[in-house]
Amino acid sequence: AAMAIYHARRLTGIRRDLARKEEELNPLHRAGLIISSRLRLKETLESILQLALEVTNARYGIFRLLDKSGEFLITSAVGGSYMDRPIIEKMPLNGKSVMAHVARTRQPALIADLRVEPWTDIYFPLDSNLKMLSELAVPLVNSSGRLEGVLNVESPHVGAFSEDDSHTLQSLSTYAITAIQEVRLLDALQEVA
């Protein structure tokens, strides 16, 4: 009887793990469909950002892409509650901000509490009316190692994001990179034509 209970519990655990994996893969499948639908880049980034907000339960998020000079992160898509545009549209790459830090280090930042050092010194709100306490930002780095930008989500709750959220956001960022590279390729082809 004890063995039967053990196997039943193990089977329940396996089913739970499979359901969780299916939930994780679903947003990635949706991101793949977004890419294959051939939307314009802005619409594609907005759709991926909306997906990122849903998956992480973030209050709002932003894509900033590196400009041609390589000196600024420019707002390319914004999503979430109560905000249309950030206060700063053009963020210096060498400036003091979480997104600039992530862009320079090319490493994700999973910040449970923005009021803690060193984040309190470099965090500033995208909108002064919103008080955010958690942030998750991932760099967009293409296969050749070139920085394309940063995907960032924020929450008014402490400890809002997990390592799983970070991995999911990193996966979603690869879809954004694909969209960016497709646009660049199409632009180059049009110039040649």
Per-residue pLDDT of the chain (193 residues; tens, 9 = 90+): 665 565 456 656 556 665 565 565 566 555 555 555 556 788 889 989 999 999 999 998 999 999 999 999 999 999 887 666 777 889 999 999 999 999 999 999 999 999 999 998 898 777 767 789 999 999 999 989 999 999 999 999 999 999 999 999 999 999 899 888 887 777 777 777 6
Q: Are 53 and 60 in contact (CB under 8 A)?
A: yes
- At residue 156, the pLDDT reads 93
- Rounded Cα gap, residues 16 and 157, in angstroms: 27
User: Token digits for 170?
Assistant: 């990193």
CA nearest to 61, candidates 167, 132, 147: 132
- Rounded Cα gap, residues 11 and 13, in angstroms: 5
CA nearest to 100, candidates 136, 143, 149: 149
- At residue 181, the pLDDT reads 85
Q: Are 152 and 123 in contact (CB under 8 A)?
A: no
User: Token digits for 190?
Assistant: 């049009």
CA nearest to 51, candidates 172, 139, 167: 172
- At residue 44, the pLDDT reads 87
- At residue 83, the pLDDT reads 65
- At residue 85, the pLDDT reads 72
- At residue 182, the pLDDT reads 83
pTM to 2 decimal places: 0.77
- Rounded Cα gap, residues 147 and 131, in angstroms: 29
- Which helix (H) or strand (E) segment holds residue 168: the answer is helix 163-192
Going from the C-alpha of 92 to that of each of 66, 69, 81, 167, the distances in angstroms are 10, 11, 25, 26
- Rounded Cα gap, residues 169 and 146, in angstroms: 18
